[in-house]
Amino acid sequence: MKLFFAFGTRPEAIKMAPLIHEALKQKHEVIVALSGQHKEMVAPFIEFFELKVDHDLEIMKPNQTLTDITVNALTGYSRLIAEAKPDVVLVQGDTTTSFVAGLAAFYNGCKVAHVEAGLRTFNRTSPFPEEVNRSLLGRIADFHFPPTVASAENLKSENITENLWVTGNTSIDALEYTLKKIADSPELQDQIQDSLPRLDPDKRTILVTTHRRENLGDGHREIFRAIKEMIERYPDVEIVFPVHLNPKVQDLVREELGKTSRVHLTAPLDYLSFVWMMNRSFLILTESGGVQEEAPHLGKPVIVLRETTERPEAIDAGCSFLVGTSKEKILKKAYELLDNPDYYKKVSKIANPFGDGHASEKIIEALRDSTLKP
């Protein structure tokens, strides 16, 4: 098969990497085409996962809008797909890059495989624009790879019932690959620790990430003020906060937390360092969908700083907690986990609902075994 992998953001790079490796392992022809949607943030992951990039649309511009991303990526991907004539275009998740690459493939009469299909919040504006992106991809795609039974049921409720396989999430494949790479290299371990803040081994570390468009402004301010109160209440807690590159996030973080002791504001972490920090953490506060999948695999409770989530499996299992951006709700759940060792132990031992680390193998084999003719 000739497989065309289209992606452009950091989460896509992480989740596509094990798929690309598996496709090459099975001797398929692979074309990797970046959109450039998050160019600076993707480059380290391309290097870490040793991916060969065949095309880069380089659409990234200062102050670009969703319209800019959509138009430029659609034009670029349409040209590349028309030239390459792949058997399948693979897209991942719910980014604008994924939706547009899928649309370009559809316009060119090419089959589309949607990795991480079927996630839904059932709220068109939360997250925005991701909820609509993934819903539209569900209508465009020919092959659907939901990570869980629940996401498969979402697709079936939309009358998407053919060419559908529950595979687990490729993020767990990437996590396993990374944990092994770290464990096998003491030099890499030293390198990672040198790149991170010096942490007190006697303190509990809380890892924080925020970046969601819908939380900009008042939502983030509430989150940051909750962090400040947490630090004031617990002398044995310190925060590691890799700050997103969005200037609106950067400015508010510096305003609210820039002078707070035991809060380490860092640049965005490379994937190795971030996995290390997740594994090192006591608790994680995040808006990230990928972290919601990965943290349970490491036995780390997650407080989800969103009003809705397309990954309810971890919420239902009891290892993640959806609290939104209310300072009071964030603190209530954090205090429960910080103050109650038995409860924390119970939560941290809940099995990860997002897969066994073999999703990539299942996806490539399903495509191989499927009839790819119209």
Cα–Cα–Cα angle for 158, 91, 179, nearest 5°? 110
User: Taking a C-beta distance cutoff of 8 angstroms, is the pair 111, 87 a contact?
Assistant: yes
Does the structure show a pLDDT above 80 at 374?
no
Confidence of residue 201 (pLDDT cuts 50, 70, 90): very high
Confidence of residue 215 (pLDDT cuts 50, 70, 90): confident
Least confident of 152-166, 177-191, 204-218, 261-275: 204-218
pLDDT tens per residue across span 249-293: 888 889 989 888 899 999 988 888 999 999 999 999 999 888 999
pTM, rounded to two decimals: 0.84
pLDDT tens per residue across span 232-246: 999 999 999 999 878
pLDDT of residue 219: 86
Does the structure show a pLDDT above 70 at 15?
yes
Does the structure show a pLDDT above 90 at 40?
no
Does the structure show a pLDDT above 90 at 62?
no
pLDDT of residue 45: 87
| Averaged pLDDT score across all residues of the chain | 93
Residue-range domain boundaries for the chain: 2-169+356-369, 187-348
Q: Which numeric CATH code is attached to 2-169+356-369?
A: 3.40.50.2000
Does the structure show a pLDDT above 60 at 372?
no
Distance CA 203, CA 106 (A): 52
Least confident of 45-49, 75-79, 93-97: 45-49
Sheet holding 2-7, edge to edge: 55-56, 29-34, 2-7, 88-92, 111-115, 143-145
pLDDT of residue 114: 98
User: Taking a C-beta distance cutoff of 8 angstroms, is the pair 191, 273 a contact?
Assistant: no
Residue numbers annotated as active site? 94, 116, 130, 211, 213, 244
Confidence of residue 216 (pLDDT cuts 50, 70, 90): confident
pLDDT tens per residue across span 346-369: 999 998 899 889 999 999 999 999
Q: Percentage of the chain with pLDDT > 90?
A: 78
Q: Which numeric CATH code is attached to 187-348?
A: 3.40.50.2000
Q: Percentage of the chain with pLDDT > 70?
A: 99
pLDDT of residue 289: 84
pLDDT of residue 371: 62
Confidence of residue 226 (pLDDT cuts 50, 70, 90): very high
Mean pLDDT of the region 284-310: 92
